[in-house]
Structure 1
Amino acid sequence: MRRKKLRFGLIQKLLLAIFLGVVYGQLKFLPLIFFEIPVTISTFFSALLNFIIPLMVVAFIVMGIADLTEGAGKLLGITTGIAYVSTIIGGVSALFIVRQIFPLFINEKAANIGEMESLVKPIFEIPIEPLLDVTSGIVFAFMFGLGISYLRQHSKRHGDAIYNVFSDFSDIISYLLGHLVVPGIPIFVFGNFVNMSYSGSAFNILSVFWKVYLVILILHWVFVFIWFCIAGAYTGKSPIKLIKNQIPGYLTAAATQSSAATIPVNLSIAEKNGVSEKIRNFVIPFCATAHIIGSVMTIVSIIYAVLLLNGMPTGLDKFIPFIFTLGIAMVAAPGAPGGGIMSTLPYIGMVGLDPSGTIASLLISLYMTQDSFGTAANVSSDNAIALVIDKIYRTKLAKSDTE
């Protein structure tokens, strides 16, 4: 009788990477080179991620918009508006809530961040500059996506060639994510925790952040519940039934840590919820990259906690503009595990953090160990948005038929 092989999902691999990294970092009798090697690999992977993220933005958003035909501009505008407002409300709400809760158990002495100064340096660094920044990628993707959609709608001879180019490009990025980025993430996290364990800060940080993670998880569940209550009230459907239907999508996102990988499951759930084929085929893939309420709530909460640990200012005058920026900068980020924090790094200077310092490495590791639940919150509320958009679309069709 053949024995079944023990398979580890991404979450289990990340937890194992943290455990092994903490243990390995305590083997201080080893020569320094044994710690510099995993740190060097982790640093290189971080640069590689930073290079891929803008390409992922272009690949996913262009195809999401280009696949629309009739009414692309109007549907895009309505869906984008709802997704952005939802993301901002989630981020701002999370900010006001953690401002009340986190100071109860976080202060400068809660975790000795000062020990981070003794982190191991990489043996060498390879500068990999992105071809374009995330914001430029978003603008490019929107312009080309709408342009391709227009050509395919108004001409049977034009638009197919460039559509096929971006379709192949999207397939290439998906392949790289599945065969390079996702398998490399546990190695990246291992290197970061080796470094933090060696410096002596890992245990202190983890003793604080399990409480931070618990608060974030509860916030996710509350906002997903609110979204389905809104969608249920607007469409006349039972929120409890809608939430029950969403459970497979939530679990898939939590297991894969990728909104892109959850799209097929979410499409079947949208069909079960009664969303029309045209709307679900647009809203679900588009919101998988554009609606990032869970990810933004996670980012805001983790950064706020890190600022408290460092005794740095946490004023609303810095955080509110930061949240509004994240609503745009993080578009398409949830398509790849850890993409949210990588898209955020160029903007953390707005709240007083160094995008290239040791704190940035800490943020990456802390975010990625909890990224799966933020992604699950994103995709779950996407189906609530699909219900709302479908009702708006059906109402407009009915109105145009009577005129």
Structure 2
Amino acid sequence: MAEKQSKKKLALHWKIMIGMALGILFGIVMLYVSNGPDIVKDWIKPFGSIFIKSLKLIAIPLILASLISGITNLKDISKLSKMGGRTIGIYIVTTILAVSIGLVLVNLVKPGNSITDKTRTELVKNYSGDTQKYKDEAKRQKDAGPLQALEDLVPENIFAAATSNRNMLQIIFFAVFFGISLVLIPEEKGKTVQSFFNGVNEVILKMVDLIMLAAPYGVFALLAALVVEAPNPDLFQALGFYALTVVFGLLGMIVIYIIIMSAYTKKSPKFFLNGIAPAQLLAFSTSSSAATLPVTMERVTEHLGVDEDVSSFVLPIGATINMDGTSLYQAVAAVFIAQAFGMDLTLGTQLGIIATATLASIGSAAVPGAGMVMLVGVLGYAGIPEAGLALIFAVDRPLDMCRTVVNVTGDATVSMIVAKSIDKLGEPKVKDWDDNFVQ
């Protein structure tokens, strides 16, 4: 009896994959059942819609709590003058680079364009509803002045802005402004507010955990409805191209990290990979930068030679605001969904995606599934139907595992660069089995 109780439960990512497979099979079967498609639309699809709404529900609270909590953890804004300024500056640059790489790849590969006109028409009909509002918004952006985006960044009413996920940039602006102001006031006066937002952040993260427990059932409903409403096989071919585009971009980011690290610190790629590999493997298995943080700090300090003062400052901030893998994925996913719906995003809109994905990744919690939540804001900004999440959720879990590896690798890279820049990068304290870890 004790032995049975000690058995581990099936991991969530396996449950999601099973739900995905069962949803596809169920949808295929229902295509050959009398009134099967109607049954799926009336009795199965609503559960998928509820799942998407639950993700949208916590998007704005997640940004507010995560950003304000992360900024206030800096404690002293003056720290940004040297180590802090370099850390955040490098994080922002690498994030912009990641988003740009994602946009270049998705525009070159065009995975969404492999969907036929018939399937695209069905997608627009079944998922986007009335698309005229998106066309009107695109025209409005085209007719706006050159500084309209900057003007729109500042909300005139934060409560009004918080009523729509489309105002994600305004929410991020307010959260950053609020967080910096909270740090600048005396600690004893801001302690209660800081504790409040830290508590809210913990609650939101728990809500993410609870929502993700329903992910297998949400995936089942979404995929079943997707099959009966757009059963064309080219959709799944496009999904494969999309996944490969994301993975190729993520691999490219790791290569870029290694090149930058080697050029600046004069350390070999083998040395870097030997030191960080265990943290990368843990990141892949947990899909959580936060869960991997203790191991990342140990590897960076003990095996890569980064001074503890640097690693204890750079890495926690990185786990909060440095989500290069997530931002790259958001850029690719947003354009892919737009392509799937036959939308032609202008250069201005895609530049806006760079800004939105960069800032949204700062507020993306370091837990599994949070990237999908933040993607809602990116889609809302670009006027892309949020129901398009159904197209990519089937492969989100394995991609989440891959992009977490990139997030952790980026944190380690930046910690080495910052340590080198202030002469706090020395020899590793531990030289044992890891010298032969990567041949």
CA contact (8 A) 1:245 1:269 kept: yes
Partner of 1:83: 91
**Identity rate, percent:** 22
Offset, 1:240: 1.9
Offset, 1:20: 0.9
Q: Which amino acid aligns with 1:333?
A: S
Partner of 1:24: 26
Matched, 1:249 2:279: yes
Residue by residue over 1:57-78, the C-alpha shift from the partner in whole angstroms, topping out at 9 and shown as x without a partner, is: 2333333332334533334443
Matched, 1:160 2:191: yes
Partner of 1:141: 175
CA contact (8 A) 2:95 2:324 kept: yes
CA contact (8 A) 1:57 1:333 kept: yes
How many residues matched?
382
Partner of 1:385: 414
For residues 372 and 111 of structure 1, what CA distance do their matches in structure 2 show? 33
CA contact (8 A) 1:302 1:367 kept: no
Q: Which amino acid aligns with 1:182?
A: M
Q: Which amino acid aligns with 2:177?
A: M
CA contact (8 A) 1:39 1:120 kept: no
Specify which of 188, 199, 204 is matched with residue 234 of structure 2: 204
CA contact (8 A) 1:330 1:344 kept: no
Once the two structures are superposed, the pairs formed by residues 155-304 of structure 1 within 5 Å of their partners are: 157-178=188-209, 180-201=210-231, 203-272=233-302, 273-304=304-335
Specify which of 111, 114, 120 is matched with residue 113 of structure 1: 120
Residue by residue over 1:206-260, the C-alpha shift from the partner in whole angstroms, topping out at 9 and shown as x without a partner, is: 2232233123212212211221331233233333222233223323333333333
Partner of 2:400: 371
For residues 190 and 422 of structure 2, what CA distance do their matches in structure 1 show? 26
For residues 179 and 23 of structure 2, what CA distance do their matches in structure 1 show? 42
Residue by residue over 1:107-135, the C-alpha shift from the partner in whole angstroms, topping out at 9 and shown as x without a partner, is: 342982333357499xxxxxxx8698543
Partner of 2:12: 10
Residue by residue over 1:161-193, the C-alpha shift from the partner in whole angstroms, topping out at 9 and shown as x without a partner, is: 333333333332233333x12212222222210
Task: Let me know the Cα RMSD of the aligned residues.
Answer: 3.4
- 3-state SS in 1 of match to 2:362: coil
- Cα 1:283/1:227, change in 2 over 3 Å: same
CA contact (8 A) 2:120 2:342 kept: no
Offset, 1:99: 3.1
Partner of 2:46: 40
For residues 59 and 343 of structure 2, what CA distance do their matches in structure 1 show? 29
Specify which of 333, 340, 359 is matched with residue 328 of structure 1: 359
- 3-state SS in 2 of match to 1:274: coil
For residues 94 and 174 of structure 1, what CA distance do their matches in structure 2 show? 27
Offset, 1:377: 1.3
- Cα 1:56/1:45, change in 2 over 3 Å: same
CA contact (8 A) 1:61 1:142 kept: yes
Specify which of 50, 55, 59 is matched with residue 49 of structure 1: 55
CA contact (8 A) 1:113 1:201 kept: no
Structure 2 unmatched runs, 5+ = 129-161, 425-439
